Amino acid sequence: MTQPEKKIRAGAISATIWNNEAVNPKGELNFYSTISIERSYKDKEGKWQYTNSMRLSDLPKAALVLNKAYEYLIFKEKEAAME
């Protein structure tokens, strides 16, 4: 299983940054990042569960973790361009 590059949390909400690669039509290897977002909660039996569905009260934290993920990737991109 692929490990995430970074996980950003705000309470029960998290954004995970994943590294990916794909070959373009020219046969060149390209790298790109994707972000997944999820909410964790405990079910009736007390077991942790995960969902991509957000409640109204989750949206401010979802916005925060997505902004932090964006910030992280933009700074990483700028740093790579300077090398």
Residue spans of the domains in the chain: they are: 6-82
d(CA 44, CA 5): 32
State pLDDT tens for residues 27-38.
Answer: 999 999 999 999
Task: Write down the pLDDT at residue 2.
Answer: 78
Task: Write down the pLDDT at residue 1.
Answer: 64
Q: What is the pLDDT along the chain (83 residues), one digit of tens a residue?
A: 679 999 999 999 999 999 999 999 999 999 999 999 999 999 999 999 999 999 999 999 999 999 999 999 999 988 888 87
DSSP 8-class letter at 57: G
d(CA 3, CA 63): 23
Tokens of 33: 């990042």
d(CA 22, CA 13): 29
Residue type at position 34: T
